[in-house]
């Protein structure tokens, strides 16, 4: 894990830049960003779109190298994961993972 923070309405640029650096060094690796909140208010999707904008639009990361896991949990949290090539995702298999490509296609223009 690169890191985590508890406010899903902000972006920790240091963690994202650390992730980008690791992905640059390891061109076949991927990233998983998990975003959780206690109640469904739509904030998880808003946070995913903010992170997607920074990583894919602003920093030119290829969207297919980025996946999101949005879920309910007992507390708000964003976790940034670096996933080496061939390594399993640190997520339960019963959770729906949204690809960066899928989120890009469904983001408002």
pLDDT tens digits, 25-67: 999 999 999 988 777 677 888 889 999 999 999 999 999 999 9
With a CB cutoff of 8 Å and minimum separation 6, the contacts of 46 are 9
Domain residue spans of the chain: 3-105
Give residue 15's pLDDT. Answer: 95
Q: In what order do the strands lie in the sheet with 30-37?
A: 3-5, 77-83, 30-37, 66-72, 97-99
Question: Is the pLDDT confidence value at 94 over 60?
Answer: no
**76 compared with 46, residue with greater pLDDT:** 46
d(CA 107, CA 101): 10
pLDDT, averaged across the chain: 87
d(CA 35, CA 76): 8
**What's the pTM?**
0.84
Architecture of domain 3-105: 2-Layer Sandwich (3.30)
Question: Is the pLDDT confidence value at 108 over 80?
Answer: no
Give residue 29's pLDDT. Answer: 97
């Amino acid at each position: 894990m690169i890191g985590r923070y508890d406010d899903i309405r902000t972006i920790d640029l240091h963690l994202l830049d650390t992730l980008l650096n690791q992905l640059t060094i390891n061109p076949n690796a991927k990233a998983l960003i998990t975003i959780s909140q206690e109640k469904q208010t739509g904030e998880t999707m808003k946070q995913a779109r903010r992170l997607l904008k920074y990583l894919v639009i602003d920093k030119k990361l290829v969207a297919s190298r980025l996946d999101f896991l949005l879920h309910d949990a007992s507390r708000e949290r964003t976790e940034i994961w670096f996933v080496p090539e061939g390594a399993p995702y640190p997520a339960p298999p019963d959770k729906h993972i949204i690809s960066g490509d899928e989120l890009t296609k469904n983001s408002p223009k």
